[in-house]
Amino acid sequence: MTQENTASPASRLIDKYGRHVNYVRLSITDRCDFRCTYCMAEEMTFLPREAVMSLEESLRVAAAFVGMGVNKLRITGGEPLVRKNVMWLIERLGALPGLDNLVLTTNGSQLDRFAEPLKAAGVKRINISLDTLRPERFTAITRIGDLDKVIRGIDAAQAAGFRRTKLNAVMMRGVNDDEFVNLVRFAVDRELDISFIEEMPLGEIHGRSNTYISSEETRALLAPHFDLQATDESTGGPARYWRIPGKTSRIGFISPHSHNFCDTCNRVRVTAKGELYPCLGQNDALNLLPLLRDGADEGALRQAMMDSMGIKPFGHDFSQQMDSPQVVRFMSMTGG
């Protein structure tokens, strides 16, 4: 059983707008076994191994955050489950006193072999990226992915006992907008949650202004098929949820363009090379890797994390950045 987080009020991460950061998204690799068109270039240049935080360094960063009141940690990539010896890290994260919500975002390709050990290690929930149910379209979007492996991964997660597993679908006009109804039906039939995500202008990927769809438009597409009723439920992240009466599934929408959630932002991101980004939509970051490798003690590491609150902006504005992004790093580099 997870122990209560006992970080003192003075050590908690509070930004200059009074927002309490209690949620960290920690990338442990920039590598992935897919090449999703909205996430990375077809021919990616990945980081050299020495530029990536070691598993021990990732654990140290996570432990420092938890010691400062963070109680939700999401492991991301790239695809985190392609990281060698990943379970060594996850088992230790699952044992951190004060961390009551260890979660994972994955493309699902490796879940058929990792679901049971992830559950045993203390992972509470899994988010699985799934933008289409059509095999040929899945291969086109991911460039090299196999839909059958992902479906097997979803089945394995449910068989391992994971509950409230959530599908994440990026909304793309002319690409998968004709499948939104079927994706909801798939989720409802399997008692999964699903969130629809507005495409974000990260990385130099052209044509987004043609494929962007707002959350409101997708809800309008779903309305003739489902009685969506708004709820005030939250999983601690940016999704806003709707329910279908009589069903267990939650239908979520993540709207960084049309209704950004900056005023209540409670999260920061750490990339696989140790860059702490207080805001997904900005380029300002604090590099933790030199501290980790230059012998800084725990106090210096925590002070740097507290200092990062000073560069956390009130918010981002993606509305004018669709085909000329202000943030040129790819989503796979930022960590989900």
pLDDT tens by residue, 271-322? 999 999 998 778 889 999 999 999 899 999 999 999 999 999 887 555 554 4
How confident is the model at residue 158, as a pLDDT?
Answer: 97
Q: Which residues are within 8 A (CB) of 219 and not within 5 positions of it... i.e. 6 or more apart?
A: 228, 242, 253
First to last CA, the chain: 28
How confident is the model at residue 129, as a pLDDT?
Answer: 96
pLDDT at 204 over 90: no
For domain 9-334, the CATH superfamily is Aldolase class I (3.20.20.70)
Using one digit for the tens of pLDDT, what is the confidence trace for 24-46?
Answer: 999 999 999 998 888 887 778 89
How confident is the model at residue 205, as a pLDDT?
Answer: 47
Q: Which residues are within 8 A (CB) of 79 and not within 5 positions of it... i.e. 6 or more apart?
A: 29, 31, 32, 33, 34, 106, 107, 109, 110
Q: Which of 88-92, 162-166, 190-194, 264-268 has the lowest mean pLDDT?
A: 264-268
Question: Which tokens go with 4?
Answer: 């209560």
Residue appearing with tokens 């409802």: 188
Q: Which residues are within 8 A (CB) of 10 and not within 5 positions of it... i.e. 6 or more apart?
A: none
* Mean pLDDT within 93-105: 97
Rounded to whole angstroms, how far apart are CA atoms 95 and 267?
A: 21
* Mean pLDDT within 84-94: 98
How confident is the model at residue 11, as a pLDDT?
Answer: 80
How confident is the model at residue 321, as a pLDDT?
Answer: 46
Confidence tier at 336 by pLDDT (50, 70, 90): low
Amino acid letter at 19? R
Cβ distance 86 to 79 under 8 Å? no
* CA distances, 299 to each of 155, 272, 274 (Å): 44, 22, 17
How confident is the model at residue 259, as a pLDDT?
Answer: 59
Residue appearing with tokens 């979007």: 141
| pTM assigned to the model | 0.88
Rounded to whole angstroms, how far apart are CA atoms 115 and 111?
A: 5
pLDDT at 332 over 70: no
Mean pLDDT across the chain, nearest whole number? 89
